[in-house]
């Protein structure tokens, strides 16, 4: 069934998205588009609508790899169809298309694997081309690209870097081209995209919902009309679609002829230097984008406005891009003016020297050698004045340069001081923000960053806990069909069959034709990187009743959710108050879906800490049994339990508030659940610090944030640092 695609020219607003998509349709070497925005802002609609505007390409007929003639011969893909290079190659023209990569896709489906039907029926090892084969010379679209599994991101990185997909699995070895325009859409609230992949995407657009009332009304009217009669609606925009398609076609034809002035290229280099961008990828992308914009406008030369627009599309989301852009143009203009001024001064001096030389020659001609006057020995008054003026000017210029140098040194000194002075609250917060942003932009820390983070952590760490075997990020067995296929095992289960191993087992007892029996079945063992399952147990009792503390708790949870999304861990949140505990966020990989529940948090009543810990412990105990995620429990409280667990079947839980808490601490230690206790207030109940005792008995770590001004930023640091120890 053919899907009804909304016309591209009927999309209201979202001009940046539309422009970015069109530019990539004209020039695929720009490197694709990453579109960030909230749900329902038209991201997916715009991408799918692009399909009707994509140009035609010439490909080899009946090739599953969507290759042109040169690729077909270079990669010897004629062997795939049991042909030779001497056989006649038939080609055909067809439009490029949007190939979608679903989040649930397995590595086999993306890369390609053995054809099951051919293998089981005929005993032939033949490749079943994957999504990367279909995406060659097309557009590869990934919705919610930030939620893509790490092993699939690794595959995409390899293909994007070399434009080739290598299939080495199940006894098959083949390479085929995989050059595609990568378009990804995502909601930033659900986590960031891995830096290695986002760096390879040319344009990055941050989109918001349309706010103009007239445009919002038009969107609703258009959508209603489209849903009632899609064909009639498309016909209304057919002329606009043809016009835009023709514009794209013309732009493709003149793209190679577009030129850019040297001064504009210099501006690109100066801007990326000022922003401190690594490498040259962004410079090249800006250059290509500006040329493509010019081609779209029908021009063969890049204008100043074309360059500005290209910079906004490529670097618009970088901090201080606008101010740096203005400063760069200003500095460039100043340098040009200085060069022109120096050139004019040189011309003036040259002319002046010529005039003086001519005058001197005339004086020599008019000079009478018999004249007794000694003019040559007398000092020339005009020359002496000129020398004095020159000396004065040089002294003034020297003083001015010295003043400017002193001012620069003073500014640099002030900047250095403000960057290292952490005494004031304002500077502390700035430093925290700077470090948090740095940590948010990368999922893995280098040794220097870990040491710097450790210095801050040690200031608030009271109990260090036991040494733990580091598992986070290591390879563990997958319980699903996701992950990298590493080996096989015997199984009567018909899910995720390893065709190569099954055929080998069947070949042993088969004579003429391969016959697969039940005992021949082999399934795949897959591995993926170990992530954490974090249970946050938070105190919502009356002791945490002040608005300041509640806002603090919410701020911390928002930070934790953001941190979890970035690292693709699992999160559950348990709250306790009164006599019971409740699950606020169930154990999930997408905690952002439950943000609205944080606003519904209510406080009051007694402090049944033991019930909250018990619920968190039960969630993580299940995770421990599965063995896929590393369990971590975080307790946020003031350490004042006053309600125990009554009528429990567990003998160690006696109903005593403190004893029950410590008993569960012992269970956490026995299950080897990594435990972190974060104390907000230094209150001691019955002469005891229960949080400290809990940390010791659970072999956990204890942090005291009583004197910390920004708790949420500190928690983010703690969580980031603790991952390095998991």
The catalytic site residues sit at 281
Tell me how far apart the alpha carbons of residues 249 and 295 are, in angstroms, rounded to a whole number.
Answer: 10
Tell me how far apart the alpha carbons of residues 527 and 533 are, in angstroms, rounded to a whole number.
Answer: 17
End-to-end CA distance of the chain: 49
Give the H or E element holding residue 176: strand 172-177
Long-range contacts of 3-6 (CB under 8 A, 24+ apart): 3/48, 4/226, 4/230, 5/48, 5/49, 5/51, 5/52, 6/45, 6/48, 6/49, 6/226
Phi, psi of 524 (to 5 degrees): -85, 140
Helical pair 304-315 and 15-26, crossing angle rounded to 10 deg: 100
Strand partners, 628: none
What is the DSSP pairing of strand 172-177 with strand 531-539? unpaired
Q: Is the distance from CB of 160 to CB of 202 less than 8 angstroms? A: no
301-315 exposure pattern, b = at least 16 Cβ within 10 A, e = fewer: ebbeebbebbbbbbb
Tell me how far apart the alpha carbons of residues 695 and 691 are, in angstroms, rounded to a whole number.
Answer: 6
For 617, residues 6+ apart whose C-beta sits below 8 A from its C-beta are 535, 633, 664, 667, 668, 671, 673
CA distances to 355, 377, 379, 537 from 359, rounded to whole Å, are 6, 18, 17, 95
CA distances to 5, 191, 216, 218, 348 from 13, rounded to whole Å, are 18, 26, 9, 10, 55
Residue 339, Cβ neighbours under 10 Å: how many?
Answer: 10
Q: Is the distance from CB of 494 to CB of 116 less than 8 angstroms? A: no
Residue 603, Cβ neighbours under 10 Å: how many?
Answer: 18
Within 229-320, where are the H helices? 230-236, 238-254, 262-274, 281-296, 304-315
């Amino acid at each position: 069934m053919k899907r009804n695609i909304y016309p591209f020219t009927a999309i209201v607003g979202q001009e940046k998205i539309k422009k970015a998509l069109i530019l990539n349709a004209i020039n695929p070497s720009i490197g694709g588009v990453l579109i960030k925005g909230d749900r329902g802002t038209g991201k997916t609609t715009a991408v799918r609508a692009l399909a009707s505007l994509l140009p035609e390409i010439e490909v080899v007929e009946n090739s599953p790899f969507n290759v042109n003639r040169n690729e077909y011969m270079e990669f010897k893909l004629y062997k795939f169809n049991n042909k030779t290079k001497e056989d006649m190659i038939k080609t055909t023209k067809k439009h490029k298309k949007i190939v979608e990569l679903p989040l649930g896709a397995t590595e086999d489906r993306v890369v390609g694997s053995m054809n099951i039907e051919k293998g089981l029926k005929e005993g032939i090892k033949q490749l079943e081309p994957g999504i990367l084969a279909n995406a060659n010379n097309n557009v590869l679209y990934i919705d919610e690209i930030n939620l893509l599994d790490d092993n699939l991101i690794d595959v995409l990185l390899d293909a994007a870097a070399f434009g080739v997909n290598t299939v080495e699995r199940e006894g098959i070895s083949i390479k085929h081209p995989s050059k595609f325009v990568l378009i990804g859409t995502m909601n930033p609230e659900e986590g960031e995209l891995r830096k290695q992949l986002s760096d390879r995407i040319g344009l990055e657009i941050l989109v918001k919902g349309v706010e103009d009332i007239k445009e919002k009304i038009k969107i609703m009217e258009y959508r209603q009309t489209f849903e009632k009669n899609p064909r009639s609606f498309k016909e209304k925009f057919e002329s606009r679609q043809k016009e835009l398609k023709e514009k794209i076609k013309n732009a493709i034809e003149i793209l190679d002829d577009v030129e850019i002035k040297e001064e504009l290229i210099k501006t690109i280099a100066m801007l990326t230097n000022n922003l401190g961008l690594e490498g040259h990828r962004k410079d090249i992308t800006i250059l290509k984008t500006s040329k493509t914009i010019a081609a779209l406008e029908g021009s063969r030369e890049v204008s100043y406005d074309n360059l500005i627009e290209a910079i906004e599309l490529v670097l618009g989301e970088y901090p201080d891009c606008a101010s740096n852009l203005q400063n760069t143009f200003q500095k460039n203009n100043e340098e040009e003016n200085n060069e022109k001024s120096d050139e004019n001064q040189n011309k003036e001096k040259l002319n002046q020297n010529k005039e003086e030389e001519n005058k001197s020659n005339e004086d020599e001609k008019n000079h009478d050698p018999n004249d007794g006057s000694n003019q040559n020995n007398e000092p020339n008054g005009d020359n002496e004045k000129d020398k004095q003026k020159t000396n004065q000017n040089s002294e003034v210029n020297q003083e001015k340069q010295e003043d400017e140098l002193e001012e620069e040194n003073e500014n640099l000194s002030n900047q250095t001081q403000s960057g290292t002075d952490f005494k004031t609250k304002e500077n502390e917060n700035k430093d925290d923000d700077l470090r948090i942003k740095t940590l948010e932009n990368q999922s893995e820390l280098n040794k220097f960053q870990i040491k710097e983070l450790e210095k801050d952590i040690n200031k608030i760490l009271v109990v260090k806990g036991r040494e733990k075997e580091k598992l986070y990020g290591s390879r563990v067995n997958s319980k699903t069909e996701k992950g990298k296929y590493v080996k096989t095992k015997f199984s009567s289960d018909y899910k995720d069959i390893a065709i190569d191993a099954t055929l080998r087992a069947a070949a042993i007892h088969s004579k003429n034709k391969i016959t697969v029996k039940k005992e021949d079945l082999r399934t795949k063992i897959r591995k993926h990187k170990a992530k954490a399952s974090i249970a946050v147990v938070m105190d919502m009792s009356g002791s945490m009743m002040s608005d300041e503390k509640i806002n603090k708790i919410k701020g911390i949870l928002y930070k934790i959710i953001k941190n979890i999304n970035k690292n693709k861990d699992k999160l559950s949140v348990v709250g306790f108050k009164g006599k019971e505990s409740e699950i606020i966020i169930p154990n999930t990989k997408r905690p952002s879906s439950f943000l609205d529940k944080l606003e519904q948090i209510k406080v009051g009543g007694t402090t049944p800490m033991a019930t909250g810990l018990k619920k968190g412990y039960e969630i993580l105990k299940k995770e421990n049994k599965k063995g896929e995620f590393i369990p971590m429990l975080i307790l946020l409280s003031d350490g004042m339990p006053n309600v125990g667990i009554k009528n429990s079947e567990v003998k160690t839980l006696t109903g005593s508030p403190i004893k029950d808490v410590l008993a569960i601490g012992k269970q956490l230690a026995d299950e080897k659940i990594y435990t972190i206790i974060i104390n907000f207030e230094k209150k001691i109940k019955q002469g005891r610090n229960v949080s400290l005792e809990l940390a010791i008995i659970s072999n956990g770590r204890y942090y005291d944030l009583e004197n910390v001004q920004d708790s949420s930023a500190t928690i983010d640091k703690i969580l980031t640092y603790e991952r390095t120890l998991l």
